[in-house]
Structure 1
Amino acid sequence: MEVSGSIAVTLTDPLLSQLQAMALPSVMVLPLLIVIAAGIYYIYTEVIHFMSKSLVRNKVVVITDAVSGVGRECAQLFHKGGARLVLCGTSWDKLESLYDSLTSDADPRETFAPKLVILDFSDMDSIEEVVAEVGDCYGCVDVLICNSSMKLKAPVQSVSLELDRNIMDINYFGPSTLAKGVLPMMISRRSGHIVLVNSIQGRLAVPFRSSYAASKHAAQAFFDCLRAEVEEYGILVSTISHTFINASATMPSAPTPPAPTPSDHQLTHGVRPSVLANEIMRTVNRKRKEVLLAHPIPRVALYLRSLFPSFLFAVVAAGVKDSALADQIIPHDI
């Protein structure tokens, strides 16, 4: 026993000395871990980027208001991903311009030439014909992205009933009617995805946005109900609530850069169209039911609305009084 023990010690001593020689200095551990973590994150993002393209390939994707900043960014992302696009808009010239920008440098072996459809939600009588035309493009709809929106900032008493109805048509009746129109195609195939690009004002009303907030609240409620009703058919309904869109960041002629998950800094001055478009793509790929794109202040306001509504109402009312007082101040030289 003593001999075997001494042999074991002599055999393990060189091994221990080699392991000690191979050990990294403690100062190198943290940089090495950072490099490994960065490598893993890079591989993860590349895999997700590849999957985002493969998941929408050959899917029939309908985008409303495709000629807007967000619509153009979405069209570029889904077109590069190999989706079969049906692009809707109110202007044929702008649709053709978007068509040219998408197909000019595209590989026809990897992408499909988009279909173009005139769609104007202010003309509700034409929606039935539009639904039929959309269905005739490919015979089905896999993804419907309701992106259309009309904004208005004005005191309640200055908004006419006609303008109220126009906003409701574009922001609520239009998307809901179009969703109803494509539902039979999705139900028959027991698959489909409807995405409502809404606004945080569909969950939190802001002064001087009465008609806009009302239309967004109505749309939010409709698609929440729709989500529950069509789940049994394998149809997914998603809503994306964002803060105001920073239209000044829209550059239609520039290629769409890959956008990371939006940070609070990116959302402080509004959502860039490219960031929102990437979030729409992620929502479709990951089948998320509800997404909120907002910096901390609106998020806190949403919690206050639920937990301490009286406090929030007082803060909002005080803000309105302050803005009214500021409008009364006339600049003058001293």
Structure 2
Amino acid sequence: MWVPSSAVLPLLIVVAAGVYYIYNEVLRFMSKSLVRNKVVVITDAVSGLGSACAQLFHKGGARLILCGTSWDKLESLFESLTSESDPKETFSPKLVLLDFSDMDSMEDVVAEVLECYGCVDVLICNSSVKLKAPVQNISLELDRNIMDINYFGPSSLAKGVLPSMISRRTGHIILVNSIQGRLAVPFRSSYAASKHAAQAFFDCLRSEVEEYGIIVSTISHTFINASEPPPVEESEPQQNALAAYISSQLTHGVSPSVLANEIVQAVNRKRREVVLAHPIPRVALYLRSLFPASLFAVLSAGVKDSVLAEM
């Protein structure tokens, strides 16, 4: 059948849209079937990202173990999940108090997590604390606290569930890290250092446990923003243009729902590494590897301009 040339492009667009829709529907169906009955542990489940992950995995029929520092918030999340779901299709989540700033409690927490179902299929290490300040203004105590929450906590929890995964020769450990685990920017020394440490630990772990059928994934994202960033006031002093643009892109985050979907897809497709960032941070990553001096010069110029603006 002859088709007018003017109708070819619209027809291709319709066909492509249809294929894309079917592809997404297949992925959505597979997402539910692949996580069904899986024991999934989510740390800091009461955060925006944690709750978004909990909703997706709960709807998919996973057996959730939700961890957090506040029992009241955990119970509130429990109620929101169970009130909106079909009990015939989903499992009631189990709740565990977990505070990475209290490292002495980690052994008991690991035992409690394993007692819930006897094993862990997927561990999502989501907890994180941020800090922005000059190096000279950060106390050693604060440094240690950030390292506990961002590095020692996730690594200790991963070590705790690892023996059961090794014995079953299956499992998936996911570190929700940050783009700053790969790229350090000024005034975030402690935060970036903890993220670099976590990135290195889980990169090493990935290679060590592959022979046991265990997958280790790292999610490197820009900051998580639940809402649009506030507009910049016109009276605010301007930094070096390029440095300011890089800084704005590094701090322009992703929404919890988008990141939660990426985590689900990482589980389903067994993806080892996910970078969720805008083009500028991605370019900065390449500059760090190929032309470090250029990147350092841009960042240093941005710091000098910000100091002059405050004088």
Same fold? TM cut 0.5: yes
Q: Which residue identity does 2:308 align to in structure 1? A: L
Question: Which range moves more in the overlay, 38-47 or 164-173?
Answer: 38-47
After superposition, where does 1:204-215 map in structure 2 within 5 Å?
A: 204-215=183-194
Tell me the equivalent position of 1:308. 291
The partner residue of 2:68 within 62, 71, 89 is: 89
1:24 deviation in Å? 2.1
TM-superposed CA distance for 1:35, in Å, is 1.4
Structure 1 SS opposite 2:65: strand
- Match of 2:109? 130
Partner SS state of residue 247, structure 1: coil
1:57-103 alpha-carbon deviations (Å, 9 max, x no partner): 00000000000010010000100010000000000000000000000
* Structure index of larger Rg: 1
Q: Distance in 2 between matches of 1:28 and 1:150?
A: 54
Deviations 1:132-163 (A, max 9, x none): 00000000100000000010001101100100
Q: For residue 248 of structure 1, report the CA deviation from its aligned partner.
A: 2.7
What displacement does 1:268 show?
A: 8.0
- The letter for the 2-side match of 1:228 is S
Amino acid aligned to 2:193: A
> Hey, what does 2:41 align to over in structure 1?
62
Residues 1:33 and 2:16 are matched in the alignment:
no
- Normalised by the length of structure 2, the TM-score is 0.92
**Corresponding position of 1:284:** 267
Unaligned runs of 5+ in 2: 229-248
Give the distance between the partners of 2:251 and 2:205, measured in 1 at CA.
32
Question: What SS class does the counterpart of residue 175 from structure 2 fall into?
Answer: strand
CA RMSD of aligned residues (A): 1.4
- TM-score, normalization by structure 1: 0.85
Given candidates 172, 189, 202, the residue that maps to 1:223 is 202
Partners in 2 of 1:170 and 1:24 — Cα distance? 62
| Preserved contact between residue 268 and residue 295 of structure 1 (Cα < 8 Å) | no
How far the C-alpha of 1:227 sits from its partner, in A, is 0.2
1:247 and 2:207 are equivalent in the alignment: no
Q: Distance in 2 between matches of 1:30 and 1:168?
A: 55
Q: 1:176 to 1:318 in 2, by over 3 A?
A: same
Pick from 150, 157, 165 the counterpart of residue 186 of structure 1.
165
What are the equivalent positions in structure 2 for 1:14-53 lying under 5 Å apart? Answer: 22-53=1-32
- Do residues 80 (structure 1) and 62 (structure 2) align? no
Offset at residue 267 of structure 1 (A): 9.0
Where does residue 280 of structure 2 map in the other structure?
297
For this pair of structures, how many residues does the alignment match?
292
Give, in angstroms, the shift of residue 30 of structure 1.
2.1
**1:320 alignment partner, SS class:** helix
Q: Distance in 2 between matches of 1:297 and 1:24?
A: 43
Gaps of 5+ in 1: 1-21, 250-265, 329-334
Q: Which residue identity is paired with 2:64? A: L
Percent of aligned positions that are identical? 84
